[in-house]
Amino acid sequence: MNFIIYTLLIVVGLYFLLRLFTQVASKKISKGLRVFLFIVLIIFAVLFAIGGKFLLTLPLTLASLALLKLKGMSIFQLISLYRLIQTLRNSGRFSFNNAASNLNTMSTEEAYRILNLNPSKNLTKEDVNKAYIKIQKKIHPDISPETSRLSTLVNEAKEIVLNDIS
C-alpha cells in the first residue's frame, strides 16, 4: 500500500516540476543549473580539502596491504592491522618506503598501544599472550614474508609489556 502512495506522490511531484519547467525560460533553467552545480562543487572541494587527509588514508593503506599478499583476512582484521601500522608509523618505527626500521627502544606506552591493551587494567600474562597471538595470527612471517618487520616489532612490544607487568 505504501508503494502505491509513494509512486503517486512521485508522479504528482514530477508533473508539477515539469509543468514549472515548461513555463520558465530555458536560459533561466541553464543558469540556475550552472549556479547549483558550481555551489555543489565548491562544497565538495571544501569537504575533500578538509576531510581528504582522513578519507584517503584507510583506502590507500588497505590497498598497500593487498600488495603485501595478505590472504584470507576479514575487513575487521584489516582495520586492526591498519591501526597497528598507524601506531607504528606515528612513532617512527615503521615505514613502507624504508626497509630499515629505527633501532630505538620502544616505550612502554607504545608497546601497550601496539598490543591494543589498556595499561591501567590489572593485566595477566595470559591477557598479554592472547593479545600477542591475536596480532601474530595476522602478520606472522610464515603467513606473509613481507610482514617480518611488523612481527619483530610486535615481539618487542610483547616483551616490554611482560617486563612491565612483572
pLDDT (tens digit per residue) in 111-166: 888 888 888 778 888 988 988 888 888 777 776 666 777 788 888 888 888 888 87
pLDDT (tens digit per residue) in 62-121: 665 555 555 555 666 667 777 777 777 777 766 655 544 444 567 888 888 888 888 877
Calpha distance 58→64 (Å, rounded)? 10
Taken in order of first residue, the domains within the chain and their CATH numbers are 2-58 (no CATH), 68-165 (1.10.287)
pTM for this one? 0.44
Q: Are the CB atoms for 94 and 86 separated by under 8 Å? A: no
